[in-house]
Structure 1
Amino acid sequence: MNFRRAEFDVTNRINTTDPVCVRMEVVRIYRSLYSRPQATALASAFDDVSRMYHGEYDGYTACDTEYHDLQHILEVTLAMARLLDGYERSRGDGAAIGERLFQLGVICALFHDVGYIRKRNDKRHKRGAEYTTRHVSRGARFLKGYLPTIGLDEFADVAGSIVHFTGYERPVSTIRVPAPIYKLLGSLLGSADIIAQMSDRCYLEKCRDRLFPEFVAGGITRKQTGKGEIVVFASAEDLVRKTPAFYQTASRRLDVELGGAYQYAKTHFGGDNLYMDAVKQNIRFAERIGSANELTLRRHPPSTITL
Structure 2
Amino acid sequence: MFPLVDTKDASAVAAFVRTKFSGMYPHASLVWLEAIFHDVVTLFSGQHPEYAAIDIGYHDLEHTLQATVCLTLILEGRHSARVEPHLNARQFELALSAGLLHDAGYLKLRSDTSGTCAKYTYCHVLRSCAFAATYLPTLGANDYEVEAVLGAINCTGPTKEVSRLHFREPVERIVGCALATADYLGQMAADDYPGELEILFREFKESDDFIHLPASRRAFKTAAELVERTPEFWVKFVQPKLESDFQALYRFLARPYPHGPNPYLEAVEKNIVKIKRRVAAARRGRPKK
TM-score (normalised: structure 2): 0.91
Q: Give the whole-Å Cα distance in 1 for the aligned partners of 2:43 and 2:85.
A: 34
Give the unaligned 5+ runs of structure 2. none
Aligned partner (choices 267, 271, 279) of residue 290 of structure 1 = 279
What is the letter of the counterpart of residue 132 of structure 1?
T
- TM superposition outliers: structure 1 runs of 4+ over 3 Å: 220-224, 267-270, 294-298
Q: Report the identity percentage.
A: 28
Residue 26 of structure 1 corresponds to: 17
Instruction: Tell me the CA shift for residue 13 of structure 1.
Output: 4.1
Aligned partner (choices 176, 186, 189) of residue 196 of structure 1 = 186
Aligned partner (choices 232, 249, 253) of residue 241 of structure 2 = 253
Structure with higher helix content: 2
Residue 118 of structure 1 corresponds to: 108
Q: Give the whole-Å Cα distance in 1 for the aligned partners of 2:66 and 2:288.
A: 22
Residue 131 of structure 2 corresponds to: 142
Q: Give the whole-Å Cα distance in 2 for the aligned partners of 1:122 and 1:46.
A: 25
CA RMSD, Structure 1 to Structure 2 (Å): 2.2
Residue 162 of structure 2 corresponds to: 172
Residue 240 of structure 1 corresponds to: 227
Stretch moving more, 182-191 or 230-239: 230-239
Give the unaligned 5+ runs of structure 1. 1-9, 299-307
The 1:268–1:196 alpha-carbon spacing in structure 2 relative to 1, beyond 3 Å, is: farther
Residue 305 of structure 1 corresponds to: none
Question: For 1:37-116, what aligned pairs fall within 5 Å after superposition?
Answer: 38-92=29-83, 94-116=84-106
Instruction: Tell me the CA shift for residue 141 of structure 1.
Output: 1.1
Instruction: Tell me the CA shift for residue 230 of structure 1.
Output: 4.9
Q: Is residue 231–residue 275 contact of structure 2 (8 Å, CA) maintained in 1?
A: yes
Larger relative contact order (Cα-Cα within 8 Å, sequence gap ≥ 6): 1
- Say whether residues 1:161 and 2:151 are aligned partners: yes
TM-score (normalised: structure 1): 0.86
Q: Is residue 198–residue 282 contact of structure 1 (8 Å, CA) maintained in 2?
A: yes
Instruction: Tell me the CA shift for residue 135 of structure 1.
Output: 0.3
SS at match of 1:229: helix
Q: Give the whole-Å Cα distance in 2 for the aligned partners of 1:133 and 1:40.
A: 34
Q: Give the whole-Å Cα distance in 2 for the aligned partners of 1:230 and 1:149.
A: 40
